[in-house]
A and B are shown apart, each in its own frame.
Chain A
C-alpha cells in the first residue's frame, strides 16, 4: 500500500559524519557486496563490467566536494549519498503498484521486487537520486537499511548493523533509532548540529548529516609554530653547523 503510515514506532536510519568520512568508498563496496550476495533479493547488476562502458547498480554513491570558506584554504568534503528513509517519502506515494512502501514499525522504505513494474516514477520523485532501476532485473533497487542484517538472528550481534556502517574504517556512519531522543544517534545529531538534505523538498528525511568541524586557524600551516622554535641539543648544533656552510 503506497499510503504513508501516519507515524512510525521507530525511525531507523543513519547519521553520516562529513567530518570524518575520508571518501574511501568502503561503504559503497560493502553495500554492493552484501546486496548482491546476501540472497535476500536479486543481485545488483553490473553491465558491460569488462567492456568499454561499464555501469552498474549501486545503492550508495560517495561524491567529493570542495568547500572554499570566505577566509582560509579550501577543504575537501566527501559526501556519501543513499536513501534517507524519508518520513514523507514522495517515492512511495507515486508508486502505482504498491511495490514501494514505508514500514509502520521501523520507518524503513522498501521495494517489493515481485510487485514492481519498473515504471521508474519513484526514482523521478526522489530528490536524492537514491533509487536505481536495475539494468538486469528491470525492477527498482534501493537501500534497505540492510533489513536482512539488522534483524538477522543468524548473525553475531555485532554484525546486526547495515553493511556500510560495519565497513566504514573511520566510524563515519552511525545506525540507530532517530525517533528516540535518547538514542546515541539522536544525541550525536543534537551535539553536532546534524541537518537534513534539501529540506525545501518537504521529504522530512530520517537520515541526518553532521557538518565538517572548523579546521584550525585559517591560513596557518599546522607545523609552522614547531618550526619557529629554535631547537637545542644535537639537532640545534646540526642546524647551526649546516647554516654556517
Chain B
C-alpha cells in the first residue's frame, strides 16, 4: 500500500497524543492542577489535534469532511471521527478546569480516557478490517496501535515503570506483526490462478497488463518496497521506537531529560515503523498484476 505521509503522521502523532490524554484522564500521572496541568494537556491535545489536521490532507475533498461523522453504524473511519470529536469534547473541559480553576474533574477524566483508547482502537480497526490486505487483517495490527499509544503516552507523561512495560509490549507486538505478515500472499494459497479463477485450467501467468500508463490502483495499492531496504528499516524502527527509549528511561539514569530525549526518539521510530506498516502491506489486487 502507498505510504502516504499525511496518514503516517496522523496515526503516529494522534496515537501518542490520545495515549497521553488517556493517562491524564485516569490520574495515572497524578491529577496536575494549575499551570502544572497546562503542559501535559496542551501536549496531548496538540499531538492528537495535529494528527487529525494532517489526516485531512489525505482527503480528495477535505471541505466535505463533516460528512464523515454520519456513518458510524457501519464504518470504522466514521466511528474514529465521532470518537475523536467526543474525546476532545470531554477532555477540553477537564483540561480547562484543571488549568484555569485548578480543579481537575476525575469523572470527565475517566470518560476521556475511555474515549481516547476507543479512538485509537477504531483507527487500528480501519486497517485490521481489510480482508484485501492480509498483512493488516490480524490481531497484531490492533496490538501495535494500542501498545504504541501506551508507549508514546507513558514516555510523554514521564512514567518510568509504565513506560518500560508499554515499550516491552510494543516490542512484542511489532515483532509479532512483522512475523505474521511475512507469510506472502503466495504462501497463503493465493496467486494469479485463484484471482482469475483460471487456476483449475493450468498455470496462470500475467501476459500483458491492462494498461501501459499508471493508474490510481497501481499507485495506491501495488506499492513495491525492496526487501533488503525493509529489513534495515525494521531494525532502525525497532531501535528507535523500543530499545533506545527503554534504555534511556531505565532505572539508574537521569530524570526528565532522559524522557525528553526518549519521547522524540520513540516517535521517530514509530514513524519509520508506520511507513513500513503501509509500504510492506500487499493488496490482493496486485495478483492481477503479477504481484504478491
Q: Which residues of B contact A57 (CB under 8 A)?
A: 216
B263 to nearest A CB, angstroms? 30
Number of B positions contacting A (CB below 8 A): 56
Q: Which residues of A contact B75 (CB under 8 A)?
A: 2, 93-96, 121
Of A98, A117, A202, which is within 8 A of B59 by CB? A117
Closest to A209 in B: B197
Q: Which residues of A contact B201 (CB under 8 A)?
A: 67, 69, 211-212
Q: Which B positions have Cβ atoms within 8 angstroms of A?
A: 1, 58-62, 64-65, 67-71, 73-78, 81, 126, 129-133, 190, 192, 194-198, 200-211, 213-217, 220-221, 283-285, 288
- Assuming the contacts A129-B285, A197-B197, A201-B284, asked whether A124 and B211 have C-beta atoms less than 8 A apart, the reply is no
- Assuming the contacts A95-B71, A117-B67, A133-B220, asked whether A68 and B213 have C-beta atoms less than 8 A apart, the reply is no
Q: List 19 A-B contacts (CB under 8 A).
A: A53-B213, A53-B214, A58-B211, A64-B206, A65-B196, A70-B202, A77-B198, A94-B77, A95-B74, A96-B67, A96-B68, A96-B71, A96-B78, A97-B70, A117-B59, A125-B130, A129-B285, A200-B194, A211-B197
A203 to nearest B CB, angstroms? 9
- Assuming the contacts A118-B59, A129-B221, A135-B216, asked whether A64 and B211 have C-beta atoms less than 8 A apart, the reply is no
Closest to A77 in B: B198
A66 touches B284 (CB 8 A): no
CA of A94 to CA of B64, assembled, Å: 17
Number of A positions contacting B (CB below 8 A): 65
B61 touches A2 (CB 8 A): no
- Would you give the 0/1 interface string for A73-84, flagging 1 where the beta carbon is closer than 8 Å to chain B? 010110101000
Q: Which residues of B contact A201 (CB under 8 A)?
A: 131-132, 284
Given A54-B213, A97-B68, A139-B60, 19 other A-B residues pairs in contact with their CB atoms under 8 A: A53-B214, A56-B215, A58-B215, A66-B205, A67-B201, A68-B205, A81-B288, A90-B132, A93-B74, A94-B77, A95-B74, A97-B78, A117-B61, A123-B220, A132-B217, A201-B131, A201-B284, A211-B200, A212-B198
- Would you give the 0/1 interface string for A124-141, flagging 1 where the beta carbon is closer than 8 Å to chain B? 111111001101011100
Interface membership of A18, Cβ < 8 A? yes
Q: Which residues of B contact A1 (CB under 8 A)?
A: 71
Of B68, B131, B213, B221, which is within 8 A of A117 by CB? B68
Interface membership of A37, Cβ < 8 A? no
A96 touches B61 (CB 8 A): no
- Assuming the contacts A58-B215, A79-B196, asked whether A98 and B60 have C-beta atoms less than 8 A apart, the reply is no
- Assuming the contacts A65-B192, A128-B285, A198-B284, asked whether A117 and B208 have C-beta atoms less than 8 A apart, the reply is no
Q: Which residues of A contact B76 (CB under 8 A)?
A: 94
Interface membership of A62, Cβ < 8 A? yes
- Assuming the contacts A117-B68, A127-B284, A198-B284, asked whether A211 and B213 have C-beta atoms less than 8 A apart, the reply is no
A175-214 contacts to B (CB < 8 Å): 195-198, 200-202, 209, 211-212
Q: Which A positions have Cβ atoms within 8 angstroms of B?
A: 1-3, 18, 28, 53-58, 61-70, 74, 76-77, 79, 81, 90, 92-99, 115-121, 123-129, 132-133, 135, 137-139, 195-198, 200-202, 209, 211-212
B9 to nearest A CB, angstroms? 16
CA of A106 to CA of B54, assembled, Å: 39
Q: Which residues of A contact B192 (CB under 8 A)?
A: 65
A119 touches B59 (CB 8 A): yes
B56 to nearest A CB, angstroms? 9
CA of A125 to CA of B200, assembled, Å: 26
Q: Which residues of A contact B196 (CB under 8 A)?
A: 65, 77, 79, 197
B146 to nearest A CB, angstroms? 21
CA of A119 to CA of B206, assembled, Å: 30
Q: Which residues of B contact A54 (CB under 8 A)?
A: 213
Of A2, A63, A128, which is within 8 A of B74 by CB? A2
Q: Which residues of A contact B65 (CB under 8 A)?
A: 117
A124 touches B283 (CB 8 A): yes
CA of A65 to CA of B204, assembled, Å: 6
Q: Which residues of A contact B132 (CB under 8 A)?
A: 90, 124-127, 201
A118 touches B61 (CB 8 A): yes
Which of B62, B200, B201, B284 has the most C-beta atoms of chain A within 10 angstroms of its own C-beta? Answer: B201
A222 to nearest B CB, angstroms? 19
Of A18, A94, A119, A123, which is within 8 A of B129 by CB? A94
CA of A132 to CA of B1, assembled, Å: 14
- Assuming the contacts A66-B205, A128-B285, asked whether A117 and B64 have C-beta atoms less than 8 A apart, the reply is yes
Closest to A197 in B: B197
B202 touches A132 (CB 8 A): no
Q: Which residues of A contact B215 (CB under 8 A)?
A: 55-56, 58, 61, 132
